[in-house]
A and B are shown apart, each in its own frame.
Chain A
Amino acid sequence: MNPANYLYLAALLFTIGAAGVLIRRNAIVVFMCVELMLNACNLAFVTFSRLHGNLDGQVIAFFTMVVAAAEVVVGLAIIVSIYRSRHSASVDDANLMKL
C-alpha cells in the first residue's frame, strides 16, 4: 500500500479538525476537534517515521499523546468550571477576554 495515502488521510483528518474548531460552538466538540487535529499529526509523524525508516516520528507521537492527555485534563477542567459558572458550554459565550 502506498504510504502517501496515510498522509492524505492525515491531511483530511486535520482539515476536518481545523474546520470543526473554527465552525462549532460547543466547547466539547471544539475540544474533540482539537484532539482530531493532534491525532492527524500523530498519523503523519508515524507515516514519516515509516517512510524515512527511523524511529524519530514514533517517539514524537508518544510525546504528542502525553501532551494530548495533559491537555484533556486541563481543558476538560476549564470547560466544566465554565459550564458550572455560566450554564453554557458555548465558546462564544466566554468572550470576556477582550479590551
Chain B
Amino acid sequence: MDTLIGLLVAAPLLGAGILLTGGRRLDRAGHLLGTLLALTSFVLAAVLFADMLGKDTGRRTLTSHLFTWVPVDGFQAQVGFQLDQLSMTFVLLITGVGTLIHIYSIGYMEHDERRRRFFGYLNLFLAAMLLLVLADNYFLLYAGWEGVGLASYLLIGFWQHKPSAATAAKKAFLVNRVGDIGLSVAIMLLFTTFGSFAFSDVFPKVGQASATQHATVTGIGFMLLLAACGKSAQVPLQSWLGDAMEGPTPVSALIHAATMVTAGVYLITRSGAIFNAAPDAQTAVVTVGAVTLIFGAIVGCAKDDIKKALAGSTMSQIGYMIMAAGLGPIGYVFAIMHLVTHGFFKAGLFLGAGSVMHGMNDEVDMRKFGGLRKYMPITFVTFGLGYLAIIGFPGLSGFFSKDKIIEAAFAKGGTEGWILGTCALIGAAITAFYMTRVMLMTFFGEERWKDGRTATASPDEPSAEPAAAHSAHGAPHPHESPSSMTIPMIILAFGSVFAGGLFSINSAFVKWLEPVTGHSEGDSPVSTGTVTAGTMVVLVLGVLVAWLMYGRRPVPAVAPKGSLLTRAARRDLLQDDFNHVVLVRGGEHLTRSLVYLDHSLVDGVVNGTAASVGGLSGRLRRLQNGYVRSYAVSMLGGTAVVVAATLLMRAV
C-alpha cells in the first residue's frame, strides 16, 4: 500500500512530462491521456481510502520513504510521504475535482489549438498539489508549494497573447512570492530552532519548547500565516485573486477556487501544533480570516464580471476557513470540512459560470445576461444548487459546514468569540446577498443580451475568453453546453447537495479527522439552535435585500454610478490603489533616495579620493622640471639630511 502513495504523485507528473515534451504529434490524444492519468490518480486515491477505512482509527497513517534528497551532515532533506486522514481528505478532493475538471476542459478547451499544453499544465498542477499535501516534511511541502505556484502562473497566463492575462499571471506570481518568502523563513527558523523540518520531529518538540524558543515559535507562526495569506489570497496579499480570473474558467474552478487557494488552510491546519503553542499567532490568523471574509464578500457584491464576483466569494469563503483554523482545535475540523464542501460548490459554480460564458460568446458581464434559465436548464439547476449550498440553505452542504464555523467562532468565548461570531454572521448575510445577485442577474429577469446591446460587446472591457473570439460578433445564441461539460457540473452539484449532510451524520467528519488535528468543543455562550436561527435570519435578510434590488425591478444594462462604497468595491476596495501608493510609490521614493545617496555619498567618496590623488600628483609633477641642477640640489639636500640624521642618531 505504501508504494501506491508515490504512484499517486507520479501519475500526473508523468502526464505533465509526456504532454509538455511530446510535441505536436500528441495534439490529438493529449487531452485524453491527461484526463486518464488524473483519473488513475483518483482511482489510486480511492483504493488507499478504502484501505484506510479498513484500519483502526489510531493506525491509519501510512508513511513511505523514497530517498534522501539532500544528504548533508546534520541537514537531511528526505523525500518521504505521509498519508493520514488530513492528507487523504485533500487527496480525494484534489484528484476527484481535478478529474472532473479535466473532463470539463475537454469540452471547454475544444477550440483552443494549445489544448495539449493546457492539459500538461493541469497535470503538473495536480502532481505539485498532491506533493504539497502528501509531504512528510516542510522541505518537500515547499517544493509542492512552489510547484502549484508555477502551475498557477502558467495557467493564469495561458492566453499569454492577451496583455491582461500576462500581467495577471505576473501579478499572481509576484504576490505569491511575498508569501513564499514567509514560508521559507519559517522553514529556516524551524531548522535552526529544532534541528529538523520533518513533521514527526518538529511537532513533539514544539510542545516542550523553552521560553526563548517560545518567541521563535510565535515568529514561525507569523511567517506561516504570511505564507498562507499569499497562497490563499487573504488580506493583505489578496490582490492577485481577482486578476487571476483572466485564466481559462476550468483553471479558476480547480486552482483558484477548489484546491490551490486552500493550501494556506492546509498549512495552518497541518502546523496546528505550532499555532496551538503560539496564541499570538492564532489571534493574527483569526483577525486575517475575519477581515478577509468581510472584505471578499463586499468585493463580491459590486463586481459585474461573473467570475470576479465568484472570486470575491472565494476570498470570503477562504476567510471563513482561515478564521476557523485560527480558532485552534475548536475549528480545525470545520475549516477542513468547509474546505471540502466549498471545493464542491465553488468548483460547480465556476464551471456553471464557464458554461454560461460558453453559451454567451464568452461574455462575462452579468448585466448582459438575464433570463438564461430557459436556455441552459442543466447549467441553471447545477448552478442553482451550488448557489443554495454556498448561502447555507438548510440541508445542503454549505449549511452544515458554515454553520459549524459560526458556532466555533462563538465557542471561542469571551469578547473575541462575540466579535468573530458577529463577523461570521455578517459575512453570511453578505454572502446570501451577492450570490442571490449573481443568480438573479444571470438566470432571471429580462433577457438583456437581446436587442443587439451585446453586439457591441463592451469595448472598455474585452472578453475574457478569446478562444472563441471568432464568434464574438452578432447577438449571442444561448445554448446548453456539451455533455462533457455538463456531467462534471452534475456530479459537483451532487457533492454540493449531499457532502455536508454526509459528513455530519454521527459527526463522521469530526471523528475522521480528530486523530490528526485534535478537536475540542469549546464553550459557547449561545446555544447551537440560536446560532442556526441567527444564520437563517441573516440568510433570509440577504436574499430579500438582493431580491428587492435586483429581482423586483429590472437590472440596468449599464452599471449605475453607485455609492462611494460600491465604487470602491468595484475597484476591489482600493487594494491595488493601496498597493500602488504604499508599495510602488514608496518603493520608488526609496530607490530614488538610495540613488541620491549613492550619487552624493558613495560616488563623492570615490571621486573625492580620485580628485585629491590627481591634485597631489599634479603638484608632485612640478618637481620633475628637467633641470639637472635642481636634481643635483635634491640629491645633495637628501644626502645632507641622511648624513645629519645618521650623526644625530649616533649622538643620541
Neighbouring A residues of B624 by C-beta, 8 Å = 98-99
Query: What's the least CB distance linking A13 to chain B, in Å?
Result: 15
Q: Which residues of chain B from 597 to 638 have a CB within 8 Å of any chain A CB? A: 621, 624-629, 632-633, 636
Tell me how many residues of A have a C-beta within 8 Å of chain B: 14
State the majority secondary structure of interface residues on A: loop
- Cβ–Cβ contact A95 & B636, under 8 A: no
Neighbouring A residues of B636 by C-beta, 8 Å = 18, 22
CA of A25 to CA of B629, assembled, Å: 8
Least CB separation from A94: chain B residue? B628
* Chain A 38-69 near chain B by CB (<8 Å), digits 1 or 0: 00000000000000000000000000000000
- Cβ–Cβ contact A21 & B629, under 8 A: yes
- A91 interface residue per 8 A CB criterion: yes
CA of A18 to CA of B627, assembled, Å: 16
- A71 interface residue per 8 A CB criterion: no
B residues with CB within 8 A of A:
621, 624-629, 632-633, 636
- A96 interface residue per 8 A CB criterion: yes
22 contacts between A and B (CB under 8 A): A18-B636, A21-B629, A21-B632, A22-B633, A22-B636, A23-B629, A25-B629, A30-B629, A91-B627, A91-B628, A91-B629, A92-B629, A94-B626, A94-B628, A95-B625, A95-B627, A96-B626, A97-B626, A98-B625, A98-B626, A99-B621, A99-B624
CA of A8 to CA of B627, assembled, Å: 31
Number of A-B pairs, beta carbon distance below 8 Å: 28
Query: What's the least CB distance linking B457 to chain A, in Å?
Result: 79
Residue from A23, A94, A96, A97 with most neighbouring chain B CB atoms (10 Å): A97
CA of A71 to CA of B628, assembled, Å: 17
State the majority secondary structure of interface residues on B: helix
Least CB separation from A24: chain B residue? B629
- Cβ–Cβ contact A92 & B632, under 8 A: no
Neighbouring A residues of B625 by C-beta, 8 Å = 95, 98
Query: What's the least CB distance linking A68 to chain B, in Å?
Result: 17
Neighbouring B residues of A21 by C-beta, 8 Å = 629, 632
Neighbouring B residues of A22 by C-beta, 8 Å = 629, 632-633, 636
- Cβ–Cβ contact A92 & B621, under 8 A: no
Query: What's the least CB distance linking A14 to chain B, in Å?
Result: 11
CA of A25 to CA of B633, assembled, Å: 14
CA of A18 to CA of B625, assembled, Å: 20
Q: Which 5 A-B pairs have the closest CB atoms?
A: A98-B626, A95-B626, A91-B628, A98-B624, A99-B624
Least CB separation from A18: chain B residue? B636
* Chain A 59-99 near chain B by CB (<8 Å), digits 1 or 0: 00000000000000000000000000000000110111111
Inter-chain pairs besides A22-B633, A22-B636, 4 sampled, C-beta below 8 Å: A21-B632, A91-B627, A91-B629, A96-B626
Query: What's the least CB distance linking B320 to chain A, in Å?
Result: 82
CA of A92 to CA of B627, assembled, Å: 6
CA of A18 to CA of B633, assembled, Å: 9
Neighbouring A residues of B633 by C-beta, 8 Å = 22
Q: Which residues of chain A from 1 to 39 have a CB within 8 Å of any chain B CB? A: 18, 21-23, 25, 30
